[in-house]
Amino acid sequence: MDAARARQRARHVPRHPGARPGHGRDRRRLHRQRLVHRGARRLGRLRRLLRLEGGGPRADPRRRRRVRPERARQRHHPRRRRHAHERRRAGRRHLECRAARSSRPGRGDLPPHRLPPLAGVVIRDRFGHDHRRRPHRGLNPSATHQYHPPPAPATPAQPPPRRSTSVITTRTAIRSISATAALGLAAVALTGCAASATGSTVADDCTPVHEGLTTYTDGVLTVGVPENLPYTKTEGTDASGLEIDLIKQIAEAECLGVAFVPITYANGIPMISEQKKTDLISGGWYVTAERAEQVGFTTATLYDAMGIVSTDGASTIDELETIGDVGSGAGFSWEADVSAILGEHFKTYPGTIEMKQDLVNGRIQAALDGYAVAVAAYADTDFVVEAVEPDDRVAITTEQPRIAFPIAKENTDLNAAISELIDEYREDGTLADILAAYDLPADLLVPAEDSSTDF
C-alpha cells in the first residue's frame, strides 16, 4: 500500500527542484477554480452591462443610463448613483423647504398640489379646503398656512419673438449662388449685358463720313467684347486691344459714341442674329461659311496663323514630331490634323492659361495657339513664338483663316460704311501701325484683293 502510494506521488512530482509532491496537481486545480470564478465575474459584468445599456427585457430604450465604474456603484462611494427612494426623499425635502418659505407673508410661491405629503400642518388651498400634513422642522403645527398665489404682472407678458427655423447649409448657399449667377447670365443674354458707358464723347460740331447710319442705340455703336488678348480686353466700362483701337477710330469718324458689352464666344453670334442687342462684335472672329448664314461680315482685316511656342524656336510640323509632348487649345481648326500626326504626344487644354502653366512647369515641350494670342500671352517669358511654316498635312498652314467683324445681316448700310473705312485704313497704313503697336508682323495684314467676305 505504501509502495503504491509512493509510486502515485512520484508521478506528480514537478520537474523543478525543491517543489513539494503534489504541488503541480494543486496548482492546476487552483487554476481551474480561477477560470471558473473569472468566467462568473465576466458573466455577471455582462449581465449588468446589458441591463444598464438597454439590452435587458425591462430596459427602456429611451432612457439608457451611463455605465459607471465598479467603485461608483458601491453604496458609500461619493460617485454612487442614488436609489429611487433616496431621490424621492430628497425631492420631499426640497418641497418641504419651499413650503416653509411659502408660510411667510408675501412668499407664497408654492401651490398646494406641489406641497410635500406631510401630516400635522393644516394648509388651506385657494378653494378654502384644509389639508393636514405631518409636522416638519420650520413649520408651526398649530398654524394654518394660506396659499398666496404670485401677483399678476402689471402688463400682459409679450410672447417671445419667433425665431427663424431656416438653416442655411453649404448646399443651400451653393444653390443660391448658382441661381443668382444663372439669373445674371440670363439677364446678360436677354438685355445685352446692359451696355457699359460710352467709351468716347462726340463733339456737337462733328460731321460723320456717312449720314443716316442706323444703330441699336441712336448715336451709339454697341460692341460686344470677349476676353481675347491682343484683340480685345474689357477694363471696367471701357475696353482695349487691337480691334478696339480700330473700332474707336471708326466710331470717331462716324460721330458715334461707343458702348462695350461683355460677351463670350458662345453667345456672341446670337447676340447679333437672334437677340439683336449689339451692332457688331469683336475678338478675332474667323470668317466661315457657317457663320455667314447667320450674320454678315465686314471686310477682312487680319490673317490668323498657328503659332508654335517653344524654348528653341520650333517653326515646322516636322520639329513637333521629335520635340516631345505638344499642347493645344481645344476647338482650334488644326486640332484634328495635328492629332493625327502626333498621336499620344498631343494634348488639348481648355484655354491658354492652363496650357501655359504646363509649358512653364515642363509637362509639355511645345504649345500651339493663335499667333497673335501667343505673342501677347508669352511676352513676359523666355519662350519663343514662331508662325508655323506651310505643311500639306495641316490645312491651316496653307489656307490662313481671315478675321473680320461680325455684324447684323440686315444692317447693310452700317456694314458698308465700316468696310469702306477699314479699306481706307488699310491703304493709308493705319492698320499696319496698329499691328506694330502690338508687336505683330505686317504680313498678318490682309491685302485688299483678298479682303472680300462675300460667299
Coil/strand/helix, residue 267: coil
Mean pLDDT of all residues in 368-374: 90
196-302+403-450 against 305-400: fold identical: yes
Cα separations in angstroms, 417 against 192, 266, 269, 293, 297: 24, 27, 21, 21, 12
| pLDDT surpasses 60 at 325 | yes
Residues 6+ apart with CB under 8 A from 95: 110, 114, 115, 116
For residues 197 and 423, which has the higher predicted lDDT (pLDDT)? Answer: 423
Whole-angstrom Cα distance, residue 334 to residue 185?
Answer: 31
CA–CA separation, 410 and 296 (whole Å): 8
At residue 272 the predicted structure's pLDDT band, cuts being 50, 70 and 90, is very high
Whether pLDDT at 32 is above 50: yes
Among 30-34, 247-251, 332-336, the minimum mean pLDDT is found in: 30-34
Q: What is the pLDDT of residues 339-369, one digit of tens each?
A: 999 999 999 988 788 899 999 999 999 999 9
Q: Residue 164: which pLDDT band, with cuts at 50, 70 and 90? A: very low
Mean pLDDT of 104-125: 52
Which residues contact residue 185 at a Cβ distance below 8 angstroms, ignoring those fewer than 6 apart? none
β-sheet with 285-286: strand ranges across: 285-286, 402-404, 302-303
- The single-letter DSSP state of residue 445 is B
Residue 191 in this model has a pLDDT that exceeds 50 = no
Q: Is 343 left (phi over 0), alpha (psi -120 to 50) or beta?
A: left
Statement: residue 77 has pLDDT above 70: no
User: How many of the other CB atoms lie within 10 Å of CB of 273?
Assistant: 16
pLDDT for 194 beyond 50: no
Tell me the pLDDT tens digit for each residue of 403-414. 999 999 999 999
The pLDDT confidence band at residue 184, using thresholds 50, 70 and 90, is very low
Band the pLDDT of 141: cuts 50, 70, 90. Answer: very low
Q: Which amino acid is at 300?
A: A
Amino acid 33: pLDDT: 76
Mean pLDDT of the chain: 76
| Beta-strand relationship, 220-225 and 233-235 | unpaired
Q: What residue type is 169 in one-letter code?
A: T
Query: What does the pLDDT average to over 319-347?
Result: 91
Of 19 and 151, the structure prediction assigns the larger pLDDT to 151
- Residue 131 and residue 107 in contact, taking contact as beta carbons nearer than 8 Å: no
Q: Does domain 196-302+403-450 have CATH number 3.40.190.10?
A: yes
Q: Which amino acid is at 253?
A: A
List the one residue out of 298, 306, 299 whose CA is nearest residue 279. Answer: 298
State how far the alpha carbon of 327 is from the alpha carbons of 198, 232, 366, in Å: 39, 24, 6
pLDDT value, residue 27: 72
Over residues 358-382, mean pLDDT: 92
Question: Which of 30-34, 36-40, 296-300, 393-397 holds the top average pLDDT?
Answer: 296-300
Q: What are phi and psi of 326, to 5 degrees?
A: -125, 135
Q: Which residues contact 321 (CB under 8 A, 6 or more apart)?
A: 341, 342
Q: What pLDDT score was predicted for residue 420?
A: 96
Nearest-angstrom CA–CA distance, 394 and 376: 24
Q: Cα separation of 444 and 351, whole Å?
A: 23
- C-alpha distances out from residue 90 to 69, 82, 114, 116, 365, Å: 24, 10, 14, 11, 85
Return the pLDDT at 277. 86
Please check the confidence at residue 417 and state whether its pLDDT lies above 70. yes
Q: Is the dihedral angle over the CA atoms 393, 394, 395, 399 positive or is it negative? A: negative
**Cβ 298 vs Cβ 418: under 8 Å:** yes
pLDDT of residue 135: 52
Cβ neighbours of 139 (radius 10 Å)? 19
Cell numbers placing 258? 461707343
* Res. 23: pLDDT tops 60: no
CATH code of the domain occupying 305-400 = 3.40.190.10
pLDDT attached to residue 322: 93
Q: Output the nine-digit C-alpha cell for 143.
A: 398654524
What pLDDT, on the 0 to 100 scale, is given for residue 177? Answer: 47
Residue 67 confidence (pLDDT) above 60 = no
Strands 366-370 and 306-310: antiparallel
Domain ranges of the chain: 85-146, 196-302+403-450, 305-400
> Please, what's the largest Cα pairwise distance for the chain?
148
- Between CA 302 and CA 376 the distance in angstroms is 16
For residue 4, pLDDT over 70 is answered with no
3-state DSSP percent of the chain in helix, strand and coil, to 5: 40, 15, 45
Cα(455)–Cα(365) distance, integer angstroms: 40
Say yes or no to pLDDT of 238 above 50: yes
| DSSP assignment string, 209-261 | SSSS---SBTTEEEEEE-SBTTTBEEETTEEESHHHHHHHHHHHHTT-EEEEE
Helix (H, G, I), strand (E, B) or coil at 313: coil
Strands annotated E in 50-157: 121-124, 130-133, 144-146
C-alpha cell at 266: 458662345
User: Cβ distance 232 to 226 under 8 Å?
Assistant: yes
The pLDDT score that the predictor gives to residue 185 is 44
Confidence check: pLDDT of 244 > 50: yes
**For residue 291, pLDDT beyond 80:** yes
Q: What pLDDT, on a 0 to 100 scale, did the predictor assign at position 298?
A: 96
The pTM (predicted TM-score) of the whole model is 0.52
